[in-house]
Amino acid sequence: MIVITGSAGFIGSALAARLNEDRFFDLVLVDDFSRPDKGANHVNLTFSQKVDRNDFFEWLDLNESQVQFVFHLGARTDTTEQDRSIFDELNLNYSQQVWNRCTDFGIPLVYASSAATYGGGELGYKDSHELVSQLKPLNPYGESKNDFDQWALKQNELGKAPYFWAGLKFFNVFGPNEYHKGRMASVVFHTFNQVTATGAMKLFRSHREDYTDGGQTRDFVYVKDLTEVCLFLMHHRKSESNGLYNLGSGQARTFLDLAHATFDAMGQERNVSFIDTPEDIRDTYQYFTEADMSKLRSIGYSRPFASLEEAIEDYVKHYLSSGKRWTTPNA
């Protein structure tokens, strides 16, 4: 059995679809399955059972001998949420329980961290363990992810860790199955919808003199590339490779690049204007991110990442234009 927490969400359901493509069907999907807007993400997947996230630890205690791997991707990901207690419960405490059980039961673990841990990027974007305690995330979400990374590293030092584990610092992920994410969906998703509705796209204006409007730069990574890394780590499982890893494309691109690529994939004339960045996120807005991918490459991951243009063309033409999800028909 392969367990995927957060399996009704964006990345979790995409990973389940990719596992199905490689004929892994003995999947245990863990999440809060009460949201109808997430239902289409998993309705056509092949899996063994669904487990409510509140029942997961009881289930795991009873079934641990059958579990070969855990992907812990479930989290509260709203970067505008300011209630720290929500992140303490879902991102920190829950993750600690997952970690402890994987340690006790001898189950390898891959969990989702975030590039939000890097804050404003003052220390760069290198996934060095020595830098983790010095990082200053810009919001409670990033803080919760960094708090868990620090805790995990401490447990590892104490010998209280799964025999194989990896924490993946996801950068700006986009792709199929994010329809339910609302404001937190990718800019590709919002660009497609705005262009469809109005023929134009409004990007956030720069509020820094050293960046032009639309020149804000991020490391955008396609969710299909992310799932390939997850499969690599599942097969890799070498204890000497335990630790934190960046997961981006390794190539920063501007939001204007992204918008233009979306127009092009849609066959539409480029029409971009700018609006002020909302005040509730303006002070914590990242103007540059770029993943240093050398650490992942050093343990043998050699597959190339899709270019922004290639990824957006696939996303627009095979998913957004038809409203399809990335799922696999039942075997």
The set of catalytic residues is: 141, 181
The candidate with the shortest Cα–Cα distance to 232, out of 102, 73, 74, 110, is 110
Tokens 């597959």, residue located: 303
**Nearest-angstrom CA–CA distance, 139 and 137:** 6
The number of beta carbons lying within 10 Å of the beta carbon of residue 297 is 12
Transcribe 275-294 into DSSP letters: EPPPHHHHTT--SB-----H
**Cβ proximity of 48 and 113 under 8 Å:** no
Q: Are strands 69-72 and 109-114 parallel, antiparallel or unpaired?
A: parallel
- Phi first, then psi: what are they for 140, rounded to 5°? -60, -35
C-alpha triplet 130, 132, 133: angle, nearest 5° = 95
**Cβ proximity of 193 and 200 under 8 Å:** no
Helix locations, the chain, DSSP H: 10-21, 56-63, 84-87, 94-105, 140-157, 187-198, 223-236, 255-266, 279-282, 294-298, 308-315
